[in-house]
Amino acid sequence: MLQKVKAAAPRLAYQRAVHCAVIRGGTSRGIYFHADDLPSDPAERDSVLLQVIGSPDPRQIDGLGGADNLTSKIVIVRRSERPDADVDYTFGQVGIEQGYVSYSANCGNLSAGVGTFAIEEGLVEPVAPETRVRIYNTNTKQLLVAYVPVEADGTPCAKGDYAIAGVPGTAAEIRLDFAATSGASTGRVLPSGNASDMLFVPELGRSIEVSIVDVAKATCYFRARDVGIEGTEGPDQFTPEILDRFWAVRNAAAAHVGLAPESRLPHPVAVCEPADYIDYMTKQTVRAEDVSFVARRVGGPPPRLHRAFAATGAVCTAVAAFLPGTVVHQVARDFGDGVVRIGHPTGIFPVRIRMDADGTLREASYSRTARRIMDGTAYVRRAPC
């Protein structure tokens, strides 16, 4: 377990002290909390979380957020009372310009930090060389399993040679299996009952083919050309008009399967056949022969391009590539090794899929890294100044 030396928090009559940790999980960064350190009242809790992050404010200058969807996130962890889980984990996506905390879906990147946090904070007994942490995600009401490498003294490994696209350097590999998250948001892998549907999108003035798949996080897929792009564009090329087209498709897909607008699901993803493109971070060419297909994912609101690829979205996308008839399957190259290699703006996201002949999902796993950046005390106002 992590040995922390806590200095006494200053007594500030006008501010409230909240213990938390800043952890990078995969290509995201979030603020992690013990559930018992937050108010039990949901409205009061969300007020505290918004202040810790610094929302609503496009710069999040008065909090710990980084003015980006990938860093405007919170994680709440507690010891689980379920017999099949070690910890309960709640993820919150915090608005930037808008003051909300959304609990509508999970974050697969920050899930990588949950097992590490649980071990370091004494919620799970470490077992070397690898600790299996069973995590119940309250957002999706489903289980995921993290395999965390552990040193002989019981501390999670910090060093390793595993690298992921979009994160500098290397670290210890944390494997996560999401096979048990089928139908996470709607109860069905194919919420509409079809591998693809023709949907009329009013903002486009026509119908386009869309596949809606729900594993880990409900997602809708369409061909990049149907929203007027090639599919290999980088963040600088995604204009507000393009982002609005993505969101228009999302709105049509949500209405089609009965997902409420406030759920912010299904997330829209444009796909195209394997093609060369420029990695946004390294400026190196990602080769067509190295990817199964190219994908661009938008989150929100307001709609923003994901500069890497959401891990839960990657799980769903990889499963979609294995389902005959989906838009993703139609454009995907099969490498024959059970690994789907998603080409995203800052590299390649590999996901291992194992599926029975009857369509039962046996494995949907990927690897991430995680690192505790700091921990301590955040301060929020007790009352408006």
Q: Which DSSP string corresponds to 217-275?
A: EEEEEEEGGGGT--S---GGG--HHHHHHHHHHHHHHHHHHT--GGGT-SEEEEEESS-
Residues 272, 304, single domain; the answer is yes
Inside any domain, residue 5: no
Which of 231, 243, 321, 227 is CA-nearest to residue 273?
Answer: 231
Residues 352, 237, single domain; the answer is yes
Residues 354, 377, single domain; the answer is no
Residues 212, 134, single domain; the answer is no
Question: By the 8 A CB rule, do 339 and 352 touch?
Answer: yes
pLDDT at 385: 44
Only one residue has tokens 């093609």, namely 275
Residues 241, 300, single domain; the answer is yes
Residues 127, 269, single domain; the answer is no
Buried b (16+ CB within 10 A) or exposed e, 171-190: bbbbbbbbbbbbbbbbeebb
Residues 227, 356, single domain; the answer is yes
Structure tokens at 310: 């959401």
pLDDT at 327: 98
Q: Which DSSP string corresponds to 35-67?
A: GGGS-SSHHHHHHHHHHHHT-S-TT-TTSS--S
Confidence (pTM): 0.80
The C-alpha atoms of residue 316 and residue 190 are separated, in whole angstroms, by: 11
Domain that holds residue 28: 15-173+370-381
Give the phi and the psi of residue 227 in degrees, each rounded to 5. -115, 20
Inside any domain, residue 189: no
Chain length of the chain: 385
Dihedral sign (CA 349, 355, 361, 362): negative
Residues 22, 98, single domain; the answer is yes
β-bridge pairing 28-34 and 15-25: antiparallel
Inside any domain, residue 161: yes
pLDDT at 163: 94
Residues 90, 205, single domain; the answer is no
Inside any domain, residue 190: no
pLDDT at 207: 98
The C-alpha atoms of residue 78 and residue 33 are separated, in whole angstroms, by: 9
Task: Identify the H or E element spanning 174.
Answer: strand 174-177
Residues 348, 375, single domain; the answer is no
pLDDT at 36: 97
Amino acid at 235: P
- Over the chain (385 residues), the average pLDDT of each successive run of 10 is 59 86 96 97 97 97 95 98 98 96 92 97 97 96 94 94 92 95 92 98 98 95 98 96 97 95 90 97 96 95 89 95 97 97 96 90 94 95 66
Q: What is the CATH number of the domain that holds 281?
A: 3.10.310.10
Which of 163, 159, 130, 158 is CA-nearest to residue 145?
Answer: 130
Residues 201, 69, single domain; the answer is no
Which of 148, 139, 143, 144 is CA-nearest to residue 120?
Answer: 148
The C-alpha atoms of residue 46 and residue 79 are separated, in whole angstroms, by: 21
Inside any domain, residue 192: no
Residues 210, 153, single domain; the answer is no
Inside any domain, residue 188: no
Inside any domain, residue 273: yes
Inside any domain, residue 180: no
Give the phi and the psi of residue 29 in degrees, each rounded to 5. -135, 135
The total number of structural domains in the chain stands at: 2
Burial of 110 (0-12, 13-18, 19+ CB in 10 A): buried
